[in-house]
Amino acid sequence: MTHDQWLRQIRREAYSKFLEAADKMQPLLLVEVTGGVIIGDELRDAGTWSTARQVLDEFISAKATLLLEAPVEVREAAYRLHEPIADLFGRIMGLAPSEVSAEAIGRYNDYIAALSDVRELCRKSLQGRGGPGF
């Protein structure tokens, strides 16, 4: 195995874990945007609050690995994806108002757009297309 093949495999694993973790965030964030009650009250009452926290922890861990292995363009896209997740998860955790609002919907749309960007940049990186570092 050449160094390039090895690096591609390492990046592929890092990208896969990161994208999987980001995808797991979507149902939590969508419920927050569309009502908040299910996430806020029922999550606490059902004893599954720790599950939501685990999903966030998985995302943060996968992001840390991605930041070590990815070229700069992918790292920057990962940071852009983290911003709306952090904002919306703050609402879930009760650190910000939990209500349906244009701002929450906008942040969710930011999450969807950033996830799409990261996914495309990961694909380009693995295919050897893109800017410097790919």
Q: Where are the domains of the chain?
A: 3-127
CA–CA gap between residue 40 and residue 34 (Å, rounded): 12
Structure-token pair, residue 26: 């979507």
Q: What is the pLDDT of residue 133?
A: 56
pTM, whole model, 2 decimals?
A: 0.77
Encode pLDDT of 33-78 as tens digits: 665 544 444 444 444 567 777 888 999 999 999 999 999 999 999 9
Confidence of residue 29 (pLDDT cuts 50, 70, 90): confident
Structure-token pair, residue 75: 């790292």
Is 128 exposed, middle or buried (CB count within 10 Å of its CB: 0-12, 13-18, 19+)?
exposed
- Torsion angle defined by CA atoms of residues 79, 34, 28 and 112, in that order, rounded to the nearest 10 degrees: -30
CATH class of 3-127: mainly alpha
